[in-house]
Structure 1
Amino acid sequence: MSHESSRRSFLSTAALVTGAIGWMPRNTNAADPVPPRTTAAPPFSLGIVTYNIAADWDLTTIIANLSKVGLKHVEFRTTHKHGVEPTLSKDQRAEVRKRCEDAGIVIWGLGSTCEFHSPDPLVVAEQIETCKKFLDLAHDLGAQGVKVRPNGLPKEVAEEKTLEQIGRSLIPCGQTARDLNCEVWVEVHGKDTAKPSRMRTIMEHCGHAQVGVCWNSNGDDVVEGAIKPSFELLAPWIKSCHINALDSGYPYRELFSELRRVNYDRVTLIEIGEKVDPTHGVLLLRYYKRLWQELCTGATS
């Protein structure tokens, strides 16, 4: 990398860090709930989604950077440089698993792009089969689950029909997950489908114990400055959680308070849109971890 490229990459990382720091004292809405502070450690952990902070990091870099920062959990998003994909052979899967286990890294999950809203039944069937392939990979890697997503509502189809289709399409995925001792996590995602009330409808149509929700920290969650109404809609299904840029104004203190309240003892995973040069990843993750710790101290039951 040239000196100028390295400088630009560092400045980009610094901007991300500065933005996150700048969020902390800001009150974006006077009505925002501010939970009382606590010294108790949260029951949940911090990890990363490779989207997009580690999109250009290979497996060696991911392991090294997480280890340096003291983070243990990773969700491998498909198509990224780490190369953790269903196309890996059994031997390659065993090698990835061993490398992570030897370093104390937990492969929390796999981030697929499987989606089930298409009006074409053949497309939906293909997506279900792809999800099953990711579940097989998750099983071989010792991962907890596979993330899938809704990604919109086709205008030519009635909303209720599409929501039911998505929910029912998740059932065979859940059945495979049960057989493989894994889970399926439906990310709160997509234009129109990210609305928590619609996500609840999807989950009610599914009704499979191995299928849960991946909370995604979206703007659609916030109602009059608070997330509690949205959180309560989906709380029975939350099995994973994505958190994003801490300068977004999202009420993270309240989110962490709600996670404590429902005894969520899993993982909150950093998912930010900007790619970060591997040489600056440790800096950003250290700042993010410290900010996360600060935000969690305001989260009490």
Structure 2
Amino acid sequence: MTGRNDRGGATVIPLGFSTLACPDYDVDQVIAMARDNGYAGVEIRFLRGTVDLPTLEELSPGRIGETRRRFEDAGIAVVGIDTSVRMTSLDPAVRAQRLDAARANLAIAEGLGAGFLRVFGGPIPAGQDRERTLDAIAAGLGQIADLTAAHEIATLIETHDEFSTSASVLDLYARGASGTLGILWDTLHTWRHGEDGAFTWDRLGHRIRHVHVKDSHRPTAAGFDFALTGEGTVPVGSFIELLRRVGYPGFVHFEWEKGWHPEIAPPEIALPHFARYMRGLGL
């Protein structure tokens, strides 16, 4: 599903959410939350309290077809699989382990019909040579991107951590990262580092395949907190307006970090709230 549908002359962008918002949910609960609140898709980060997706029986080779049918029967797309994979290490053994993790999650993405695998650039490890590390990240993520592209699944680096600005992401391509590597634009992180939406899109838009939005009361380059959508200071509406104007063809997903911050509002509040807010913007 893409945003190329048309409603009254305006681009319709399908909405979804990351299961980071509902870390303890099982598949049926994820489907029910999406269906009951008008979400078209989900990306899988957590299920039943774990991010180690290959360990889950419902995502095993013998069961994943059944799981896929449950999503499809409900009309909910599994848009992507979110991993913790990063290629910051210079140790060949560690890099091989992370490539194996990418392969295991690629199998899940294929099994569920997902279009992308999310990876991170990651922070530069303390005490490690910066230039060598950046070259290693570019090479390693490019290798993963080429691997998944051969299976018609995109690898997307999220604008996050050390790679929260357009310049930092573009530097990876300048260092030889494969052109098959796409971008997951987390709008909060580029914005809190001083980029407005038009600036980021102008530089990265041709590589952006997926978009995350979330709100914060006090977003700065040094950090951020959490706010229900529309109750913070992030100009969420301006990002949606931009994406509609440029004809962005993908999903916009809500990334509510309940899995990492148990003190924030539960999914039963945050996910319906986001859907209502987005409907107020005409989506």
TM-score (norm 2): 0.80
Gaps of 5+ in 2: 1-6, 216-228
Aligned to 1:65: 33
1:54 aligns with 2:22: yes
Aligned equivalents of 2:124 and 2:50: distance in 1? 32
SS at match of 2:127: coil
Aligned to 1:200: 170
- What is the Cα deviation at residue 283 of structure 1? 4.9
- Higher mean Cα deviation, 265-274 or 156-165? 156-165
- What is the Cα deviation at residue 238 of structure 1? 0.5
Aligned equivalents of 1:256 and 1:288: distance in 2? 13
Aligned to 1:271: 255
Read off the aligned partner of 2:15 and give its amino acid letter: L
Aligned equivalents of 1:77 and 1:145: distance in 2? 12
Q: 1:196 to 1:79 in 2, by over 3 A?
A: farther
SS at match of 2:258: coil
Q: 1:177 to 1:42 in 2, by over 3 A?
A: same
Counterpart pick for 1:288 among 264, 274, 280: 274
Aligned equivalents of 1:296 and 1:123: distance in 2? 46
Which is higher, the Rg of structure 1 or of structure 2?
Answer: 1
1:183 aligns with 2:154: yes
Q: 1:284 to 1:220 in 2, by over 3 A?
A: closer
- What is the Cα deviation at residue 221 of structure 1? 2.8
- What is the Cα deviation at residue 257 of structure 1? 2.8
- What is the Cα deviation at residue 97 of structure 1? 0.4
- Higher mean Cα deviation, 54-63 or 170-179? 170-179
* Higher RCO (Cα < 8 Å, 6 or more apart): 1
- What is the Cα-based RMSD across aligned positions, in Å? 2.7
Aligned to 1:251: 235
Gaps of 5+ in 1: 1-37
Aligned to 2:246: 262
Aligned equivalents of 2:137 and 2:24: distance in 1? 32
Aligned to 2:199: 229
Q: How do residues 18-37 of structure 1 correspond to structure 2 at under 5 angstroms?
A: none
- What is the Cα deviation at residue 270 of structure 1? 0.7
1:129 aligns with 2:100: yes
Read off the aligned partner of 1:177 and give its amino acid letter: T
- Identical-residue share of aligned pairs (%): 23
Q: Is the 8 A contact 2:16 2:39 kept in 1?
A: yes
Instruction: Spell out, residue by residue over 1:107-163, the C-alpha distance to the aligned partner (whole angstroms, 9 max, x if none).
Output: 101111001112323212211221122112111111111111122013433433322
Q: Is the 8 A contact 2:165 2:193 kept in 1?
A: no
Aligned equivalents of 1:236 and 1:73: distance in 2? 22
SS at match of 1:94: helix
TM-score (norm 1): 0.75
Read off the aligned partner of 1:199 and give its amino acid letter: V
Aligned to 2:78: 107
Aligned to 2:4: none
SS at match of 1:107: strand
